[in-house]
Amino acid sequence: MNIQEYFVSLFKGIHSLIKGMEVTGKELVTPKVTEQYPENRATLKIPDRFRATLQFVYDEEGNHKCIACRSCERACPNGTIHIDTRMVDLPNGKKKQKLDKYIYDLGSCTFCSLCVQSCPTNAIEFSNDFEQAVFRREALVKQLNYLPEKDEPAPAPAPAAPAEAPDKATDEKTVEKPAVKVAVKADDAAKPANENQENQ
Q: ∠ CA 128-130-135 to the nearest 5 degrees?
A: 150
Question: Residue 187 is inside which H or E element, if any?
Answer: helix 168-199
* pTM, rounded to two decimals: 0.59
Q: How many CA atoms lie within 13 A of 36 on its CB side?
A: 4
Q: Which CATH number does 53-143 carry?
A: 3.30.70.3270
- Provide DSSP, 77-127: TT--EEEEEEEEE-TTS-EEEEEEEEEEEGGG-----HHHHH-TT--EEEE
pLDDT of 88-136, one tens digit each? Answer: 887 787 888 889 999 999 999 999 999 999 999 999 999 999 899 999 9
Task: Domain ranges for the chain, please list them.
Answer: 1-32, 53-143
**What tens digit of pLDDT does each residue of 162-183 get?**
656 555 555 554 445 555 444 4
pLDDT digits (tens, 9 = 90+) for 151-160: 665 555 656 6
Per-residue pLDDT tens digits for 4-62:
888 889 999 999 999 989 988 888 888 888 888 889 888 888 888 999 999 999 988 88
The upper half-sphere exposure of residue 23, i.e. CA atoms within 13 Å in the direction of its Cβ, equals 4
Say what the pLDDT of residue 61 is.
Answer: 86
